[in-house]
Amino acid sequence: MAEYASMSSSLKNYLSSTETAASIATVGSNYRLEDNQVYRMAATIRELITGKIFIKDFPVTLSSKLGVDDLKAGEIANKIISQSFGPIIEDVKRIQRNKFPDKIQQLQKETKPETLTQPTAKPIEPRQAPTPAQQLNNDQQLMTDDKRPIIKPTEVKPQLKINEAQRSLEEELKKVASVIDLRNKPKE
Task: Assign 3-class secondary structure to the chain.
Answer: CHHHHCCCHHHHHHHHCHHHHHHHHHHHHHCCCCHHHHHHHHHHHHHHHCCCCCHHHHHHHHHHHHCCCHHHHHHHHHHHHHHHCHHHHHHHHHHHHHHCHHHHHHHHHHHCCCCCCCCCCCCCCCCCCCCHHHHHHHHHHHHHHHCCCCCCCCCCCCCCCHHHHHHHHHHHHHHHHHHHHHHHCCCC
When pLDDT is cut at 50, 70 and 90, the band that residue 70 belongs to is: very high
pLDDT at 156 over 60: no
137 within some domain: no
Least confidently predicted of 53-57, 82-86, 157-161: 157-161
pTM listed for this prediction: 0.57
Q: What is the pLDDT of residues 18-51, one digit of tens each?
A: 999 999 999 999 999 999 999 999 999 999 999 9
Write down the pLDDT at residue 103: 87
Is 146 part of any domain?
no
**What mean pLDDT comes out for the span 108-116?**
68
- Give me the number of domains the chain comprises: 1
Would residue 151 count as lying in a domain?
no
Residue 186, in any domain of the structure: no
What range defines the domain where residue 9 resides?
2-111
